Chains A and B, each alone.
Chain A
Amino acid sequence: MTTIESTTGPGTDPQPPVLAARAFDAVKVYGTGDTEVRALDGVTCGFERARFTAIMGPSGSGKSTLMHCVAGLDSLTSGSVFLGDTDLTTLRERELTELRRDRIGFVFQAFNLVPTLTAAENISLPMDLAGRKPDSAWMDEVVRTVGLADRLGHRPSELSGGQQQRVAVARALASQPEIIFADEPTGNLDSRSGAEILGFMRRAVDELGQTIVMVTHDPVAAGYADRALFLADGRIVDEMAAPNAERVLDRMKRFGD
């Protein structure tokens, strides 16, 4: 098992890189007794601001669980999770909801959009829920970036899978959240559409300074990230700076051993 670097311990470094979110000794246990599953088994990690982090690992390793817990969708059994300076474990359900709405963006693998709302309405949904007026210049920019200008009035059923994911990315970017979580955002797409989506996310990080955390199985997708974290059996087992597809594939193969 690889040692975890000092960037992951809270407050241990006198000048730590700015962390958008971090988990400390995060444990998540499902079930009890014989059926007990330790989905997270003491994960400590941090996600740097304005960086693109990929989380990788075999199926069942706890990737989604980690993401859900850091994103305030699920609660830990023990340990703590911070978004900026906010300790998520102290928040009540309603505060968590507001936190997700105002400070986090999501892109899921599928069913990202509300079928009754148009693309434009889906994009502004979090802000509408908050009763905030979207910043229209920013909206225009986001829409232009993801190339949806001519599809805004369409409903999800009138959009292709790739277009739907672009709308989802646009929604995540639109409210300028502190961090965007994406769980296998390209899992359902062909490689061309997938590359498009990943390209947008990369540009969002480079040009807009957005923080993105992406769970993926795809080494090619991980290649778009600045850093890759590897999970196995609920623990962080490795990490890789500036990953590329080949190296990631190599590392993944070793999980089989």
Chain B
Amino acid sequence: MLTATLRSLAAHKARLAMTGLAVVLGVALMSGTLVLTDTVGRTFDNLFSNVYAGTDAVVRSTEVVKSPFGQDQRAPIPADTLASVIATPGVAEAEPTVTGFAQIITPSGEPVGDPTGGAPSFGANWGLVTGLNPFTIAEGEPPTGPDDVVVDRASATKGGFGIGDTVTLLTAQAPRPFTVRGLATFGDSDSPAGASVSLVTLDVASELFAVPGTVNEIGVVATGGTSEDEVVAALSARLPAGIEAVTAAQRTAEDQSALGQALGFFNSFLLVFAVIALVVGAFIIYNTFSIVLAQRTRELALLRAVGATRRQVTLSVLTEALAVGVLASLVGLGIGAVTSIGLRSLLGAAGIDIPSTSIVVSPTTAAIAIGVGTMITLAAAVFPALRASRVPPIAALRTVAVEPKPPVIRIVVGIGILGLGVLNLVGGLTQGGDTALFGVGGGALLIFIGVAVLGPAFARPAVRLLAWPLPRLRGITGTLARENAARNPRRTSTTAAALMIGVALVGFIAIFAASAKASIDQIIDESFTGDLIIDSGQFVAGGVSTDLAASVKTAPGVAASTGVRFLTANLDLPESSAPAGPASNAAFILAADTTALVDITDPQPTAGRVSDLGLNEVAVASSVAESAGLAVGDTVPAQFPTGERTLSVVGTFDNRALLGDWVVDLATADAAAVDRLDVQVWVKVADGASVTVVQEELKVLAAPWPTADVLDLSEFKASQAEQFDQILNLVYALLGLAVIIALVGIANTLALSVYERTREIGLMRAVGMERRQVRAVVRWESVVIAVFGTLLGLVIGLFFGWVMVLALSSQGLGVLSVPVPTLVVVMVLAGLAGVVAALLPARRAGRLDVLTAIGSE
């Protein structure tokens, strides 16, 4: 039996290659992602342990404020802690670090790096203690005067400037010119993970970045003979409550794990697409095995007739699947390792730049890639294998394998799976929390499988209906194409289902994005009564200093304006809201001049007041207040990076879409945050003043901040849409892989069908069908299958989009917008893709030799 399996493997190399390709692509993306993680992990592990080699201990605050986005902020410590640290026995040297946001502006006025996304920009003091300073001067000198700066070499290269040039630093203070004194490296690397860094003297850093009288942390070098643990113990004994000492080893481990988390997010993002690709691949493997085994019914029946047991038949099929799976996974792993280099540039766009090093493939990665690829292939082959084992010996005597009518049970099971999928999806979306992703993902998968199970039951009439114009347009070739597509409903529907998955996700993303854009537009149209928005382009870290908002406020023609900031705080709520992740009580708080705010927006207040908030007064979105059990008059203990405050709730509002969950006044923000950076400035133009004229004036005012754009409302909407589009394009590209795999599937199915219909094609050629007509028949069949799959996909995508909008309507996604032109383009592309998928099979069909074809079995 094994010999029979191996023979059949050898006899169908081309078919196996096609089947394998479906696995190869999915495994390649998966292993590419894993290899990238291995490589990056190794690179940074080395980098961190090198740069902290001279440090023995770090003194820092114990207070950490978690951010909803995972970037934790540690509270600063009093600067005078340094004295007691130095006085501690076992401490040889100690030096504080002060860091904060700093965007470099080149001599020609351009920001270095991509301020909207990409790697972070920060500034710090130049460390004078060699062992403590992770940076090394590569060229020039360290900063000594108040106008001196040293930048990382990568930024200088990117910005096209060098030693002696004047750059401007945008910080929480007014923009300030500096002279570049030197270029530094971080370990062996030109930049720490692609971040752009400005290094200044401690005095300047304290002035620019710190709350007066504080530093971020203090690095410690122990005296010779004192171990890291000993010096930490000595420090811990002396440090006041709220300040801790940790070993450099621990600090390094924390840095590595923080980076690991950032990478992990990126990883999971990519792995989602790898899983999608693998699921599509599984459909194709299932389909190929089904078709091939149906074609080999006679051979299998003969084997059974001469005494092969069912078990042996099943095993022989699974052995074949195992061989395909292992081989394809190995190839996929190889391609993945190469792909990881390409993925690296994606990671760069996501803000982490990796110094180029050799590729690291860990044994775990290899095991996962090969294991998953093989398991999926095997799992997809199980059903066809079982079906093959049920071929009765008598089938050896029948001429053609007829596809049986789908039994009622199939319809019942299909509808069951579909229903379960919808329930899961809706449940996942409405409940939220950790399990939401599994609910949504699992629900979507079940819906796909449900439709695929139901497919054979409706594929024939659906395909006939879809292709009704073909006979009219294309005559007999059209009729033949339509009937060929309809003749094996199971084959057609499974092939189409593979394409459906990719298209459904593309359609869903397109609808989601269009709805999000439309919702933003609606929010701005309906509740933003201002006229201009100055957008710093930054969000979580960074922004523009308050000087800009201050000068805008007094500009002629401006009726009202406010700087808008976001604070992170950890709130102690009476009832913890939805079961969110570890940062469940981490909140994003919008801070604005609440007197001006009500002139520029409509907060839609529901109780108390949202305007004229005083220090430590907070307004809450009504839905948040409800789920947290808060009402006007209640207090909320809040942990800010500068310490704890008690906020009192003075009002609730409905406009969560524009203002978020929590609103405080700038007075509170000034007191509670470490630095004062406005993310945006909102402006209402005075009655009678021209918006364009005021916009021009404000552009002049904003000129010192080249990262800031002065936008009118339509420009602002467009810039928001543009940010969406960037992410969209990346997602489309990744989903493209799933679509490509599905096209390989269509090509594969067609090739198998052409092979099966050899005699028929020969007959038609004999009675006068031209080669181009043979090709046209295959091509149009392909187009019909592709369009069928695309239509199914778009319907499901539309459903996903609709459910998503329903679920997120309370969070500002209120408008369901269907981007009809995009979907039409998808449809047309699908048709063209069908043509492309048919190229090879059609060529083969056209080339069949008439006589051999007629004579073939």
Contacts and interface: CB of A to CB of B under 8 A. Distances in A.
Question: Do they bind each other?
Answer: yes
A128 B476 contact: yes
B124 interface: no
Interface stretch (A7-15, A106-114, A141-149, A200-208): A106-114
A97 B770 contact: yes
19 contacts: A68-B851, A94-B771, A97-B771, A100-B767, A101-B767, A104-B768, A108-B766, A108-B854, A114-B480, A116-B484, A116-B487, A121-B479, A125-B767, A126-B768, A128-B479, A129-B768, A129-B769, A157-B402, A171-B767
A60 interface: no
A115 B760 contact: yes
B642 interface: no
Q: Which 5 A-B pairs have the closest CB atoms?
A: A101-B768, A116-B483, A128-B476, A100-B768, A126-B768
Contact of B767 (A111, A115, A126): A126
A98 interface: yes
A29 interface: no
A108 B850 CA distance: 13
B270 interface: no
Given A94-B771, A97-B771, A114 B763 contact: yes
Contact of B773 (A68, A102, A113, A129): A129
A111 B760 contact: yes
A24 B484 CA distance: 42
Contact of A114 (B760, B771, B773): B760
B765 interface: yes
Contacts of A74: 851
Contacts of B487: 115-116
A113 B850 CA distance: 15
B307 interface: no
A23 to B, nearest CB: 17
Interface in B54-109: none
Contacts of B851: 68, 73-74
A117 B760 CA distance: 11
Given A97-B770, A100-B766, A129-B770, 11 more contacts: A68-B851, A73-B851, A74-B851, A94-B771, A97-B771, A100-B768, A101-B770, A113-B763, A116-B487, A121-B479, A126-B768
A113 B757 CA distance: 12
B582 interface: no
A130 interface: yes
Contacts of B769: 97, 101, 129
B759 interface: yes
Interface in B456-507: 475-476, 479-480, 483-484, 486-487
Give the most central of A74, A101, A113, A157: most B CB within 10 Å.
A101
Contacts of B771: 93-94, 97
B100 to A, nearest CB: 73
Interface residues of B, number: 24
B764 interface: yes
B475 to A, nearest CB: 6
A94 B768 CA distance: 9
Interface string A88-105: 000001100110111011
A97 B768 contact: yes
A100 B850 CA distance: 12
A117 B767 contact: no
Q: Is the interface of B mostly helix, strand, loop or mixed?
A: helix
A256 interface: no
Nearest to A183: B854
A33 interface: no
Contacts of A115: 487, 760
A131 interface: yes
Interface of A: 68, 73-74, 93-94, 97-98, 100-102, 104-106, 108, 111-117, 121, 125-126, 128-131, 157, 171
Interface of B: 402, 475-476, 479-480, 483-484, 486-487, 759-760, 763-771, 773, 850-851, 854
A182 B760 CA distance: 17
Contacts of A105: 767
Contacts of A97: 765, 768-771
Nearest to B483: A116
B770 A94 contact: yes
A131 B760 CA distance: 20
B47 to A, nearest CB: 65
Nearest to A93: B771
B86 to A, nearest CB: 91
B850 A73 contact: yes
B732 to A, nearest CB: 37
B774 to A, nearest CB: 10
A111 B759 contact: yes
Contacts of A117: 479-480, 483
A171 B768 CA distance: 12
Contacts of B486: 116
Given A116-B480, A116-B484, A117-B479, A130 B850 contact: no
Contact of B763 (A94, A108, A157): A108
B768 A102 contact: yes
Contacts of A104: 768
A106 B759 contact: no
A131 B480 contact: no
A107 to B, nearest CB: 10
Contacts of A113: 763
B768 to A, nearest CB: 2
Nearest to B770: A97
Contacts of A125: 476, 764, 767
B767 A106 contact: yes
A105 B763 CA distance: 12
Nearest to B850: A73
A246 to B, nearest CB: 33
A152 to B, nearest CB: 15
A68 B771 CA distance: 19
Contacts of A106: 766-767
A64 B771 CA distance: 23
Nearest to B767: A126
A129 B767 contact: yes
B760 A129 contact: no
Give the most central of B764, B766, B770: most A CB within 10 Å.
B766
Contact of B475 (A102, A108, A126, A128): A128
A1 to B, nearest CB: 29
A120 to B, nearest CB: 11
Nearest to B485: A116
Contacts of A93: 771
Nearest to B487: A116
A115 B486 CA distance: 12
A73 B850 CA distance: 7
Contacts of A114: 480, 760, 763-764
A73 B763 CA distance: 11
A98 B769 CA distance: 8
Contacts of B484: 116
Contacts of A108: 763, 766, 854
Contact of A131 (B475, B759, B763): B475
A125 B768 CA distance: 9
A80 B640 CA distance: 99
Nearest to A98: B768
A194 B484 CA distance: 31
A106 B762 CA distance: 12
